[in-house]
Structure 1
């Protein structure tokens, strides 16, 4: 049973959202194609990042909690992570956006981008020798700068609020992956490669990583959904 731990975490993360996707009030199932394109597109660089970090020993996986099928050095569950987790996140954003009008939040876009760029820039400069911290900070900077100044996305603040809500799910899911409630973590991190600041047992870099991934998948989801019309 232990070997199904990671896949069960993913299953229970996505199953309620998947079932709710067919609700007539939401009909998120009509946008499965747009979501799949967006998630796969974003997964390509993130999986490359994952493979590289795993090869360098920045992080590694406890195979006792996986089914044992590896692809390019990553457990199958880790590949599915880049579909299942974004699905729940985008579904949540889509549902909140459908029932709550939060256009007024766009007035905070400049502030969100400014704070993100400043905090991540200072962090990258101070801790350039910690590769997970450095790459995560730079990725977040490039993402918000592109979305705000080039793509002219007016939903960054709205997405940031939704991500804050998503943290209620992020904490138990990533908490289990990083060892909360388990004898040993499913995902282990080299202490020399990140700040060492943890929420429960979750490196704070994971939250920034998740935020960046969420913004990018949402951007492409909106693009593919719009182009379908």
Structure 2
């Protein structure tokens, strides 16, 4: 049973959203193909990042929790992770945007971007020697600046609200992966390459890493589906 841990995490992350996609009021199933395209665009650089960090030992996987199949140094479940988690996230965003008026969140766009960029930049300068911290800061600052100042997207506040809604799921999934309710972590981290600040068992960098990935998935999904920014 232990070997099914990671694949079951992926399964339970996506199954409810997948089934709900066929609801006639939602019909997200009609967007499966476009979701796969947009999520692949985002997955490529993050998978390269994952392969690199696994190769140099920034993090590594306990294969006892996996089926044992690896590709490019990553368990097959890790490849699935880059589709299962974004699916649940994009589906949640899609539904909340569809059924609720979240326009009020736009008032926080500037505050979110400027505060985040300043805080992250300071952290990056202070802890530039920790590669996971530094690269996470660089990517997230770039994503926020691009979306706000270049692409001029007005849904950053909305995305942040949805990300907060998704936090219980984030803690459940990443908590299990980092060993909060199982004997040992599925994913292990080199303590020299992270801040050492953990949310229960989850490195704080994971939340920021996930945030940038979430924003990019929303961005490309909107482009591929030609969804108007609201």
- Bin of the TM-score, shorter chain as denominator length: over 0.9
Shift of 1:124: 0.2
CA distance in 2, matches of 1:97, 1:165: 13
Structure 1: gaps (5+ residues): none
Secondary structure of the corresponding residue to residue 60 of structure 1: strand
CA distance in 1, matches of 2:183, 2:102: 42
Shift of 1:21: 0.3
1:60 corresponds to which residue? Answer: 60
How many pairs are equivalent? 227
Partner of 2:110: 110
Backbone CA RMSD of aligned residues: 0.7
Question: Counterparts of 1:1-229 in structure 2 under 5 Å?
Answer: 1-226=1-226
Residue by residue over 1:126-154, the C-alpha shift from the partner in whole angstroms, topping out at 9 and shown as x without a partner, is 00000000000111000000001111111
TM-score for both structures, normalised by structure 1: 0.98
Distance 2:215 2:176 in 1: 23
Residue 194 of structure 1 and its aligned partner are, at CA, apart by 0.2
Offset of 1:104 from its aligned partner?
A: 2.0
Q: Deviations over 1:146-200 (max 9, x none)?
A: 0011111110000001001101100011000000111110000000000010011
- Structure 1 stretches of 4+ moved >2 Å: none
Alpha-carbon distance in 1 for matches of 2:214, 2:33: 17
Give the Cα separation in 2 of the matches to 1:167 and 1:5.
21
Normalising by structure 2, report the TM-score. Answer: 0.97
Cα deviation, residue 90, structure 1: 0.4
**Cα deviation code 1:18-48 (max 9, x no counterpart):** 0000001111111112211111000000000
